[in-house]
């Protein structure tokens, strides 16, 4: 096995001018939640797996007792309408563990993408605010200035110098290394507290992405999940509130 | 020396349809204890050593003052009865230090295994509970669904979604990377507190493994070791109890 | 992409006996500030970018919403007067993350430098004192003893055994690995508290460097920046002073 | 430059059956102090330098203001008497930073050693006790049982299962990887508190080594250094004693 190994699980799909959409684990798992939901809703088909020696040496256990080596997975979907394009969707268990591993992984993803004719990418992630956010905005950054106007028109938000620290991880690297190869792309970042997985932010990201790609999908399941998470967050806040009171009490006493 | 180097210390053994049994250091050292006991009881013969540049740069000192570079070691055993199969047994001083090193090590182990005709593996490890356990169960996971029923019949326990975090290290990776090569295998995980080496858990694992492989061995030495460890654990608990009392006293005073 | 990749963004410049001047991020960002200011003042022209798999997997976002993969950048400037030499100027977003990455990066920089005819280098950095410094001195170290007298004459300071720990990072490595190739060079280190970016120290370094290279540039913008930073530092000291008082008060009470 | 690069600084020396003696930085710097003292006393001549991309990216500054890239250095010495053997002496600024780097470094050292005809090695290090030691003993370990008796006769101490954790670093790895190549060797470990550099322990190690190699050298300078260090240690103990009293006082008050 090479450092990063691609394994086709079906015949290589023949796609016409496909767009790559990436959502790997990250802050609030926004990108992963969004792409997984999209895959499910449009019934995209898995066609390839990517393994890396820079992923953790780990297998997951499926509900039937079988194991699954951690990986990244590629799905495809063929356009149904004239105003749509074929899609390649990427999600997975991990990003690379090390800087070096991240670069190797993204290079392998771009190799596959170019091999299948990809010229354009949308990468999805979260933008961690560190505080609660009622109505998460979706920020973006792009390889080419010409996309800025269009994305703003579709509801994405342009804030100068935000995120200040740039984009760390696969979502940024795909655009950065892709640009060196002449690919174009946009990274959407949903605002998120960053504490828990955030289906609300994923929904906000998908709202924009589906507008841009002319794909109409049901987002109600994400809404449902968002409510469940909100309940959990509420409980955590209560427990923290209690323990804060308690610790203040103790401090007062002590 | 390559990143991982195999060194035969005898002629390459000729084995018929051998099973690989792995037990490297890990939680409670369950796998290592089990395989070492098995090697001793069946008088398996060492035939190869594996060295890796991702092991610690360390030699151990034997009781006669000679040194031994840390490694992994392969033993073989030839079937005595019709219902048995030849075995290759793997144990060692360390697993790889880094994720990358783990993948390289396991690939080298699988290369050797395939070269000697292995199609099936049993990997042994511990499942850390973080609390005392009276009668350790043995969980399992497998490359192929067809093994589930059989393992349950032999006394292994199937719990949906357990271990929740999957399997980390060589025991999981051998199944994960092996499955990509078309090998089959089962990982047995003995429940263990995970604080100390755990011969009781190793015994529980071996009980199942010997049933599955039709090998009858004496487990009394592990029982003996388990009692010794139990004594040590008892002493530690007493000391901790004392210091806990003391620290509570102090807290009360302070 | 190789581990370190060079990408020319213009035709390879034809330079006559050029000097390499390096200023990458480091303590007080002294070197980076100095080289960036020099590039701006002499209108040096960017001709190449260096990417490394040991840089963070990160893109920055430009003010127009486009992304930029983190890198190192080379500029050149052609001598205007007889007593000047052509210059190659190097700055960038990061140094290598790991020791190995640092060596690879510096080897790639030296490859480019030798390819363009460089025989002499000036590397710029900060020397962290850990305390405020009114009038930062500029220490130096060199590949060849013959430079010592000349640098002292230009105002650099020679202190035996300082910095005690030597020079860590690209500024030192360029001289160290360069010397093995027969290149000559001097490293200038501006004294700096090391807490914040330090334009005052950068100015002190540039004062010497411009004397050595017979380049006359306006340093007033660095002075201006230095005053702004001094204001910020003042505010931080006040806040720290307050919180120190407060914590002392609390300690008194507690 | 390769990962590890050898650079001859003189013509390759012609040696007859030379012994390699290694003393790189480690606990109490015992090995490094011992080999450096030996090099000085016998006027051994430097003939090669070893550079590694797994050393820190660092240069030291010599007293004349010139820089020196961190490395390992080889010296040789030709036997003067019939009962002596030619020597190759190895010391340096660092061992490899990572496990992988340690293996690569030691392989490069063994390559050079074999190239020059080495069949036997003495590696020198410290054995950290974590407490003061009046009269440091010298423990040892060896590639071949036949050396045990001889080393004990020369005053080295054989303690079963000590050091318990084996030997970590170049001193152990040279024997471990050397043994795989058929080389023979002994590692001497001087007992040391391990807090400070320990010339007393280095002296104890050299006492044995010089007996074994029939080389008579003056050890008084090490004795002198040991006294200086003892003074410093005394001062540290006093300061620690004071602060301990003080902190006890405070605890009493608080």
Residues in chain B: 254
Nearest CA to CA, how far is A96 from chain B (Å)?
A: 10
Mean pLDDT of the A28-56 span: 98
Give the CATH class of D4-218: alpha beta
Nearest CA to CA, how far is D65 from chain C (Å)?
A: 5
Look at residue A217 and tell me whether its pLDDT is greater than 60.
Answer: yes
Mean pLDDT of the A101-129 span: 98
One-letter-per-residue 3-state SS of A63-79: CCCEEEECCEEEEEECC
| Nearest neighbour of D173 by CB, restricted to B57, B60, B66 | B57
Residues of B in contact with A7 (CB under 8 A): 180
- Say how far apart CA B48 and CA D68 lie, in whole Å: 44
Tell if the CB–CB gap between D57 and C104 is shorter than 8 Å.
no
Share of chain B above pLDDT 70, in %: 95
Tell if the CB–CB gap between B61 and D168 is shorter than 8 Å.
no
Least CA distance to D97: which residue of chain C? C99
Residues contacting residue C86 through CB under 8 Å, at least 6 positions apart: C15, C16, C17, C18, C19, C76, C77, C78, C79
Nearest CA to CA, how far is C164 from chain D (Å)?
A: 8
Q: What is the value of ipTM here, to two decimals?
A: 0.91
Tens of pLDDT along chain C (254 residues) come to 899 999 999 999 999 999 999 999 999 999 999 999 999 999 999 999 999 999 999 999 999 999 999 999 999 999 999 999 999 999 999 999 999 999 999 999 999 999 999 999 999 999 999 999 999 999 999 999 999 999 999 999 998 878 888 999 999 999 999 999 999 999 999 999 998 999 999 999 999 999 999 999 999 999 999 999 989 888 888 887 776 655 554 444 43
Tell if the CB–CB gap between D180 and B7 is shorter than 8 Å.
yes
Tell if the CB–CB gap between C53 and A104 is shorter than 8 Å.
yes
Of A110-124, B97-111, D36-50, D239-253, the least confident: D239-253
Contact indicator for A199, A23 with CB cutoff of 8 Å? no
pLDDT at B252 (0 to 100) = 43
- Say how far apart CA B124 and CA B198 lie, in whole Å: 13
Higher pLDDT, A250 or C196: C196
| Nearest neighbour of B161 by CB, restricted to A51, A63, A70 | A63
- Say how far apart CA D151 and CA D147 lie, in whole Å: 6
Mean pLDDT of the A227-244 span: 82
Could you tell me the residue ranges of all domains in chain C? Answer: 4-219
| Paired residues of D20 in beta bridges | D88, D121
C neighbours by CB contacts (3+ pairs under 8 Å):
A, D
| B156-189: burial string, b at 16+ Cβ within 10 Å, e else | beeeeeebeebbbbbbbbbbbbbbbeebbbbbbb
Residues of C in contact with A141 (CB under 8 A): 59, 61, 65-67
Tell if the CB–CB gap between D55 and C148 is shorter than 8 Å.
no
Residues of A in contact with C70 (CB under 8 A): 166, 176
Q: How confident is the model at residue B246 (pLDDT cuts 50, 70, 90)?
A: low
Tell if the CB–CB gap between B166 and A7 is shorter than 8 Å.
no
For chains D and A, having 3+ Cβ pairs within 8 Å is answered no
Nearest CA to CA, how far is A23 from chain C (Å)?
A: 16
pLDDT at D252 (0 to 100) = 43
Tell if the CB–CB gap between D148 and B65 is shorter than 8 Å.
yes
pLDDT at C243 (0 to 100) = 65
Share of chain A above pLDDT 70, in %: 95
Contact indicator for D74, D87 with CB cutoff of 8 Å? no
- Say how far apart CA B132 and CA D210 lie, in whole Å: 55
Tell if the CB–CB gap between B179 and A64 is shorter than 8 Å.
no
Residues in chain D: 254
Q: Tokens 């792009």, residue?
A: A142
- Number of A to B CB contacts under 8 A, please give it: 81
CATH, domain range A4-219: 3.40.50.10900
Tens of pLDDT along chain D (254 residues) come to 899 999 999 999 999 999 999 999 999 999 999 999 999 999 999 999 999 999 999 999 999 999 999 999 999 999 999 999 999 999 999 999 999 999 999 999 999 999 999 999 999 999 999 999 999 999 999 999 999 999 999 999 998 878 888 999 999 999 999 999 999 999 999 999 998 999 999 999 999 999 999 999 999 999 999 999 989 888 888 887 776 655 554 444 43
Share of chain B above pLDDT 90, in %: 86
pLDDT tens profile B12-48:
999 999 999 999 999 999 999 999 999 999 999 999 9
Q: How confident is the model at residue A161 (pLDDT cuts 50, 70, 90)?
A: confident
Count of beta carbons in the 10 Å neighbourhood of residue C173? 30
- Say how far apart CA D205 and CA D126 lie, in whole Å: 9
- Say how far apart CA A7 and CA A25 lie, in whole Å: 21
Residues contacting residue D227 through CB under 8 Å, at least 6 positions apart: none
Mean pLDDT of the B81-88 span: 97
Residues of B in contact with A54 (CB under 8 A): 99-100
- Say how far apart CA B158 and CA B137 lie, in whole Å: 10
Write out the residues of chain A at the interface with chain C, using a CB-CB cutoff of 8 A.
96, 99-100, 102-104, 106-107, 140-145, 148, 158, 160-163, 165-170, 172-173, 175-177, 179-180, 187
Q: How confident is the model at residue A238 (pLDDT cuts 50, 70, 90)?
A: confident
């Amino acid at each position: 096995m090479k450092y990063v190994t691609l394994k086709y699980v079906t015949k290589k799909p023949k796609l016409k001018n496909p767009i790559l959409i990436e959502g790997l684990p990250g802050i609030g798992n926004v990108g992963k939640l969004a792409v997984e939901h999209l895959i499910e809703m449009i019934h995209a088909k898995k066609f390839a797996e990517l393994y890396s020696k820079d992923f953790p040496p780990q297998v997951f256990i499926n509900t039937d007792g079988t194991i699954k080596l951690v990986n990244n997975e590629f799905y495809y979907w063929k356009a149904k309408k004239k105003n749509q394009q074929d899609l390649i969707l990427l999600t997975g268990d991990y990003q690379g563990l090390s800087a070096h591993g991240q670069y190797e992984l993204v290079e392998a993803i771009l190799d596959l993408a170019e091999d299948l004719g990809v010229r354009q990418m949308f990468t999805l992630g979260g933008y961690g605010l560190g505080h609660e956010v009622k109505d998460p905005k979706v920020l973006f950054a792009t390889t080419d200035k010409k996309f800025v106007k269009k994305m703003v028109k579709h509801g994405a938000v342009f804030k100068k110098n935000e995120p200040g620290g740039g984009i760390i991880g696969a979502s940024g690297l795909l655009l950065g290394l892709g640009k060196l190869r002449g690919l174009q792309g946009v990274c959407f970042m949903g605002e998120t507290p960053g504490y828990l997985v955030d289906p609300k932010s994923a929904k906000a990201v998908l709202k924009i992405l589906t507008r841009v790609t002319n794909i109409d999908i049901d987002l109600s399941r994400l809404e449902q999940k968002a409510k469940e998470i909100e309940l959990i967050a509420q409980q955590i806040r209560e427990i923290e509130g209690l323990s804060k009171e308690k610790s203040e009490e103790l401090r007062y006493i002590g």
